[in-house]
Amino acid sequence: MTPARISCLALSLVIVSASTTTAGVILDRQPHNTGGPSADTAYLDGFGDLGWQEVAEDFALPQQSIINRIDWWGFYGSSFGGGTTPPISDEVFRIRIYSARVSDGFPGAVIHEEYHTNPMRTLTGRNVSSNSAFPERKYRADLTTPIALEANTTFWLNITQIGAPESKFRWEYSLTPPAHDFAFLDNFSTDWELAGAVSGLAFQLYDVPEPGSMSFFAVIAMFGFSVNSKRAHGNYFCRRQNHAVTDRRISSRSP
């Protein structure tokens, strides 16, 4: 393999490595497996009636970030009714990020919305106790379109299972400081209001990291290697040319 091809291959590997750098957790609210509110647009209550409820958690980031992945924890069902397993067919989650209303701080305008069908869902091996034991699950959604969020600004995260009345999804509690409450909206209310809980909701936000310095210097190194390879190849070509001229001169003097 020629030096130029080796240089191109090495540079390609560096670029691929830089492009696949994993995101980092920018906000971490770990689950507290004692329960959680319903977060579902259609479920059957203990009387067999169809109900719905959405919940939202407020947050602020310590620095300006581009969010490209969201994890959250939850479970299914309750001691008062609702399926305790995931939907029989596809499971669809809607993810929304709201700005905060100036008037009262509750969820205001939707600034980002995505639907994710069958996001990654993993059993954690723990149970959530809410009068009964329910298997805890962790979910992950890589955003189709990353969203840039300003630092020290209040936003609200809303994650809701869409449809599937046979399954009642519940978003798990979190006691990660600082102490805060979550907001809810259901078929009995007309606007967002606080739940009056002493816990928030469990989720993680990931940001797109800055290009690593190692990747930057690796690219520079590959560039230098490429230039030196070209010079070496050029010198080798010149030596071959000079050698050929000498051979012709010798041949012209031969009898």
Q: Are 52 and 160 in contact (CB under 8 A)?
A: no
- Residue 71 CA to residue 32 CA, distance in Å, equals 15
pLDDT tens for each residue of 117-175: 999 999 999 999 856 679 999 999 999 999 999 999 999 999 999 999 988 999 999 99
Range in 51-55, 160-164, 251-255 the model is least confident about = 251-255
pLDDT tens for each residue of 61-119: 999 999 999 999 999 987 665 567 899 899 999 999 999 999 999 999 999 999 999 99
Helical (H) or strand (E) element with 39 = none
Q: How confident is the model at residue 250 (pLDDT cuts 50, 70, 90)?
A: very low
The residues near 18 (Cβ < 8 Å, ≥ 6 apart) are: 211, 212, 215, 219
The domains located in the chain, with CATH, are 3-12+212-253 (no CATH), 23-207 (2.60.120)
Q: Taking CA 2 as the corner, what is the angle to CA 15 and CA 247, rounded to the nearest 5 degrees?
A: 150
In terms of pLDDT, which residue wins out, 2 or 166? 166
pLDDT tens for each residue of 189-231: 999 999 998 899 999 999 987 555 334 434 434 444 444 444 4
pLDDT tens for each residue of 23-52: 699 999 999 999 999 999 998 877 788 999
The pTM score is: 0.74
DSSP state of 172: P
- Residue 229 CA to residue 197 CA, distance in Å, equals 66
- Residue 15 CA to residue 218 CA, distance in Å, equals 9
